[in-house]
Structure 1
């Protein structure tokens, strides 16, 4: 099956991409030699361009960088970030010391937060926050580059699809809010290793990813369903074994450092509905659900996601691809969860590239994300100035639009992935049997 021109040269077939190339000379020419420089050139170029978007993110947060991240100023200027919060408290200790991230974050994210804190020199509160934010920004740029390279390595014939990671407008607003990209990078590397038939290494990366962010369990589940369909049980067992070993090692590291790595999960079970979750609409309406009910809904969301995945992978003769399956399952889990933060948009970027999502759909989704980003801070800052606060009804409207946007990209992923010549994350699929040769009749002879 020939590769679609839309995938090898998006600027030829997609109007948003064609318009965007106007600043560098326009769309790819008719006689251009596409792909001659290989996928590594595309990955390196996109990684460099991603740093530009992160720099724009720093500019967007200029007020906080200059004056600090105090509330409510950081909320009204939409420049709040969890990163400077991690700079507080004394140096040394462990991630589970007083004020450490280990009490609220998964173990690997907490350790990353703690390591950056150790690199931050002591000084005034503002100077410490600024330096911590600067170091965190460098770490995030490197992790985005790693995610971009890993994505491009899975679509080597169409490496510019990794632009869905490197050039997404949501990097400007959400990339610097937290270290969510850490889990995204580990999960993407895990998928790339699975695609290259390194199941143990893939499992280790995916297991580590779940210790940085929980959502990679969805990807691991999608891989399991696809591997069972393709009768790749031996590689699957090795992958799951690697993931289990990584999880146990991370938990053991947390306990060895004197912490309680399970504390964030126990806290999650008792939390009320958070910003962004559809369940939060009831909170806005002053009819919130009890924490136990939210936990049941979240667990049922995971069950529904896996049952739907089981159905989609078992539909003959349709051959479900891993990326749209994982994206659909992830959207279900996100929408039934007890919170859906503004930075959770980072989770879906690599999957958008792997499903070859059209830029029209990507930019519509990104536009909704950016508007929601601003409206969220205006709503949260409401108690400090009710005269200019975002009303609860208006916030609920934008939340619903965001829900529709996520359902939309999950739906569009199935159509877009049909343009791919093969599944980029399906290394163990049995090759298609050759078509039988036509029988020659006496007349045809």
Structure 2
């Protein structure tokens, strides 16, 4: 966005008066970004409007790209009958999402009982869309607060076409909003409260707790492990407290989420789905021939173990990258890599999961070129996915190979983004956020500061030069008289 301003005079010079500081100016950059975010979410609501009445005839939910789990699960989870999540019906989501569904769904059902003329499904969807949109606007505001010197970075998140088509497919903005609050609290040097919100986010969707891994890496570099353990403990206690009522009272319902994820087969568009398709093309011999991906498709426990192992290897690689990098990586860079690797090798990659990466890439690598290419690939995948769903109903729309090609494009563009982030961690002089903040990490919070001397020793073990970060100064020498003084004397 800042680059586009060259068409009307170019970016501000070194001695110009910043527009946001001019008296009486209303349309500052942050307000423009916030207004655009509201516009995009309004467009998302319009885009989903053909599906709001629940009359999904002739595959309208796929041909109009307006499918949403929110409306479908109002009926599938029994909310339209007044069933209390977990108590009366097992819910396939973690408990905070289940609480959220019940908090909006049960009042809608109760109101519908006294007003039979209303469309309960439509009311439920609109109530969810409103709250999720507010959470999305809050998340954009937090990204703006984390990048006060670079407000246009938040536009990568605020105006993303991905948000238009996926904002209310599921309840992902609930977890995103909780994660964003936790990240803001961490940047404000409140590790315990940050951990509370990371724990709440993990109790809505699993991925927000992954931030604790990057925090650990940064804590190892500067020796402030106490802050990590404070946040880790707060996240764990929070997760346990919000899960405990359902865990104790309706244990079997609580286990539904974990069992479902354990038993689910290879899902559409994943790395494993692509591999299985290639297996089917390459293994054209006898009926007993099976490639490795097809074998894994028939042996789900082994698929689970391999998927977790590959994610674990990625995390190990991110750990080594974080410790060996010439300068302490930025927290959002490591967080993006962890979440992206989880998606790349997961056996499930639902179309709305892309929302997890949008705010993270705006914080980790705010450069439009690769983001635009990735966005095109994601929108192309969504179109191919809906075409494939229509085909699953018996009406072929596109060849299977076209869907696999779209899936591959999505996989490759996310992997390329990871490569760019890794490059900027290894060559911090290419990092535009560091450039704007004088080499500092605006998200580091309590982990900002000099690092441990052993980092330089570790780098030299691998044949690398000294770290660019200044090591922590040694403690001042103690005078012999002070050493001999009694405690409290």
Normalising by structure 1, report the TM-score.
0.85
Give 1 or 2 for the bigger CA radius of gyration: 2
Counterparts of 1:187-198 in structure 2 under 5 Å? 187-198=179-190
Give yes or no for the alignment of 1:162 onto 2:154.
yes
- Does residue 1:57 correspond to 2:49, yes or no? no
What is the correspondence of 1:57-76 to structure 2 with a 5 Å cutoff?
Answer: 57-65=44-52, 68-69=55-56, 72-76=59-63
Return the offset for 1:297.
2.2
For 1:275, the equivalent position in structure 2 comes to 268
- Equivalent of 1:299, from 308, 322, 325? 308
Report the counterpart of residue 233 of structure 1 in structure 2.
225
RMSD: 2.8
Following the alignment from structure 1 to structure 2, what is the Cα–Cα distance between the partners of residues 18 and 61? Answer: 36
What is the match of residue 399 of structure 1? 407
Q: 1:275 to 1:411 in 2, by over 3 A?
A: same
Q: Contact 1:298/1:336 (CA < 8 Å) preserved in 2?
A: yes
> Is the contact between residue 154 and residue 192 of structure 1 (CA under 8 Å) also seen in structure 2?
yes
Hey, what does 2:448 align to over in structure 1?
Answer: 429
In structure 2, distance between residues paired with 1:43 and 1:206: 26
Q: Distance in 2 between matches of 1:125 and 1:176?
A: 25
1:364 and 2:373 equivalent? Answer: yes
Q: 1:111 to 1:284 in 2, by over 3 A?
A: farther
Whether contact under 8 Å (1:186, 1:206) holds in the other structure is yes
Counterpart contact for 2:53–2:119, Cα < 8 Å: no
Whole-Å Cα distance in 2 between the matches of residues 315 and 72 of structure 1? 52
Among 319, 322, 326, the alignment partner of 1:317 is 326
Could you say if the C-alpha distance between residues 301 and 26 of structure 1 is closer, same or farther in structure 2, counting changes exceeding 3 Å?
farther
CA separation of 1:433/1:268 partners in 2, compared to 1, >3 Å: closer, same or farther? closer
Partner of 2:211: 219
Question: Which one of the candidate residues 375, 381, 387 is aligned to 2:384?
Answer: 375
Secondary structure in structure 1 of the residue aligned to 2:69: coil
Tell me the alpha carbon deviations over residues 74-96 of structure 1, each in whole angstroms, 9 at most, x when there is no partner. 12322110011232234544212
Deviation digits for residues 208-267 of structure 1 (CA, Å, limit 9, x no counterpart)? 111111112221211111112221111111111110111111111323663533320121
2:86 aligned partner: 96
Task: Look up the match of 1:437.
Answer: none
Change (3 A) 1:351 1:256: same
Give 1:33's aligned residue: 18
- Give the corresponding residue for 2:122: 130
What is the rounded CA distance, in whole Å, between the counterparts of 1:283 and 1:126 in structure 2? 46
Report the counterpart of residue 431 of structure 2 in structure 1.
417
Residues 357 and 412, structure 1, Cα contact 8 Å, conserved in 2: no
Single out whichever of 85-94 and 191-200 deviates more from structure 2.
Answer: 85-94
Return the match for 2:35 from 48, 54, 57.
48
Equivalent of residue 167 in structure 2, options 162, 175, 182:
175
CA contact (8 A) 1:357 1:417 kept: no
Cα deviation, residue 35, structure 1: 4.4
**Higher mean C-alpha deviation, range 328-337 or range 63-72:** 63-72
Which structure has more RCO (C-alpha within 8 Å, separation ≥ 6)? 1
Distance verdict in 2 for CA 1:295–1:203, change over 3 Å: same
Check whether the contact 2:269–2:404 (CA below 8 A) recurs between aligned residues: no
Change in 2 beyond 3 A, CA 1:43/1:97: farther
- Structure 2: gaps (5+ residues): 281-293, 425-429, 451-468, 472-489
Aligned residues: 414
Q: Does 1:80 align with 2:67?
A: yes
Instruction: Point out where structure 1 has 5 or more consecutive residues left out of the alignment.
Output: 1-9, 20-24, 435-445
- Choose the corresponding residue for 1:106, options 75, 90, 94: 94
Shift of 1:172: 0.8
